[in-house]
Amino acid sequence: MPAVNPEILLWARETAGLDLAEAARKVGIAAARGLDPGERLAAMEDGHSRPTRAQLVRMAKTYRRPLVAFYLAAPPPRGDRGADFRTTTADAPPEQQAWLDTLIREVRARHDLVRAALEEDDEVVPVEFVGNSQLDEGVETLRSRLVDLLSFEREEFRRRRSLTDAFQYLRECVEGAGVFTLLIGDLGSHHTSISVDTFRGYALADVIAPMIVINDRDARGAWSFTLLHECCHLMLGETGVSAGYGSQAVERVCNDVASAMLLDEDELVGIVIPAEGGVDVLAAPVADFARARNLSRGLVAYRLLRSGLLTTARWAALSTYFHQRWLEHREKERLRGKEADGGPTYYIVRRHRLGPALIDTVNYLLKSGGVSVVKAAKILGVKPNNVRETLAVNGG
């Protein structure tokens, strides 16, 4: 058996976003020979000692790396996440960046399996709208084109009973145009939740298997806006990660296209903007307006800013206020979920996050022999013995 390069151990731990103490605990390294667990792991990374085979297996699971990666001659170059459309990441915790890199690496691995299988299928038609647009065509041209591509009807979106139903309608439009849409906000548990400040959406611009990932840790009202924003990136042929209302030119255009699809500027006259009073006074009419149209409060606030009805300072204060209310609401929901019995099964939740398009495609590829059960499991993010139930629940 070849020796393990100590640099690989250090690289694998750091890219997993773990410090020495936490990694040693998760790997199950005990204190010995006068060294605490973290010191023992540091000795392995310095080359002063060697991990056992059992420890390597646990490291592979903990660091979310294949076991064979630990026998590479040197750490591989950082995976390409595409363009970074975020305004700033300087203040983001290192573990958040590491979790994001891991999420994107796993998404791309799933995508590559789907793409390879679809390339062998004679019936697959390229998604031609990916990369068919240019930034300088302007917001109105891009908006109109995206409405036509998705066969999107704003009134139908607003007629839906809830934010979730409205998003489901929009998701059907997007997947009907050939785009896989996934809802992923962590690496398998709430302990690895990725904040919306780190990542809100990710677009993988590929004509065979275009894919969009939405951080489902975000407010549900924001999912629709993010989905349209990432669709705009696909039209522009840009793979990359977004978070918040970025200041880059391409982000402003994608924000304006997405928000204009959901809300006309002329409608904003229906909001009475108080000239005085605290942010809570300003928030009330904005929230009421958004609720009546299945829109996120942040989207309405952004449209008010872009139309000149809100100053930058008031918009920033309003955005912060809405974000804090959302965090409080999410915490209440989390606590309520702990107390409640029942709820959706694991498989129903898994299917919802994967999306109908990916579920149907994997079903088709399995039946046609395009993928094995093992590859299907990797695409779905489940164990091989869970593939059948993941695909078959609710009569799928």
- Letter string b/e over residues 2-23, b meaning 16 or more CB atoms within 10 A of that residue's CB: eebbbebbbbbbbbbbbebebb
SS3 content of the chain, % helix, strand, coil (to 5): 60, 5, 35
DSSP 277-334: S-HHHHHHHHHHHHHTTT--HHHHHHHHHHTTSS-HHHHHHHHHHHHHHHHHHHHHHH
Distances, alpha carbon 274 to alpha carbons 17, 86, 293, 305, 314, in Å:
45, 32, 21, 15, 11
Distances, alpha carbon 268 to alpha carbons 26, 42, 138, 219, 302, in Å:
52, 59, 21, 22, 11
pLDDT for residue 372 is more than 90: yes
Tell me the chain's radius of gyration from C-alpha atoms.
Answer: 23
The whole-number pLDDT of residue 394 equals 45
Mean pLDDT of the chain: 89
Tell me the average pLDDT across 309-332.
90
pLDDT for residue 1 is more than 90: no
Give the model's confidence band at 396: pLDDT under 50 very low, under 70 low, under 90 confident, else very high.
Answer: very low
Phi, psi dihedrals of residue 203, rounded to the nearest 5°: -115, 130
The whole-number pLDDT of residue 238 equals 94
Give the model's confidence band at 206: pLDDT under 50 very low, under 70 low, under 90 confident, else very high.
Answer: very high
Q: Give the residue with greater pLDDT, 104 vs 335.
A: 104
Give the model's confidence band at 103: pLDDT under 50 very low, under 70 low, under 90 confident, else very high.
Answer: very high
- Give the helix/strand (H/E) hosting 148: helix 139-150
Of 159-163, 242-246, 248-252, 310-314, the one with minimum mean pLDDT is 242-246
User: For the segment 66-96, what is each residue's pLDDT rounded down to a tens digit?
Assistant: 888 888 888 876 656 678 888 765 566 788 8
CA 43/CA 53 separation, integer angstroms:
16
- Burial classification of residue 248, based on how many CB atoms lie within 10 Å of its CB (0-12 exposed, 13-18 middle, 19 or more buried): middle
The whole-number pLDDT of residue 17 equals 79
C-alpha closest to that of 166 among 253, 285, 292? 292
The whole-number pLDDT of residue 159 equals 96
Contact status, residue 234 vs residue 120, Cβ threshold 8 Å = no
The whole-number pLDDT of residue 33 equals 84
Of 169-183, 199-213, 216-230, 275-289, the one with minimum mean pLDDT is 275-289
Share of the chain above pLDDT 70, in %: 94
Distances, alpha carbon 150 to alpha carbons 32, 179, 232, 384, in Å:
61, 10, 11, 34
CA 385/CA 389 separation, integer angstroms:
8
User: For the segment 14-70, what is each residue's pLDDT rounded down to a tens digit?
Assistant: 888 788 999 999 999 999 888 999 999 999 999 889 999 899 999 988 988 888 888
The SS3 call for residue 79 is coil
CA 277/CA 185 separation, integer angstroms:
36
User: For the segment 120-157, what is each residue's pLDDT rounded down to a tens digit?
Assistant: 887 788 898 999 999 999 999 999 999 999 999 999 99
The residue type found at 4 is: V
Give the model's confidence band at 395: pLDDT under 50 very low, under 70 low, under 90 confident, else very high.
Answer: very low
Q: Where are the beta strands (DSSP E) in 192-283?
A: 201-204, 211-214, 240-242
Contact status, residue 296 vs residue 325, Cβ threshold 8 Å = no
| Domains of the chain listed by start with CATH number | 6-71 (1.10.260), 84-262 (no CATH), 269-340 (no CATH), 346-395 (no CATH)
CA 308/CA 330 separation, integer angstroms:
31
Q: Roughly how many angstroms between the first and final C-alpha of the chain, as a whole number?
A: 45
DSSP state of 180: E
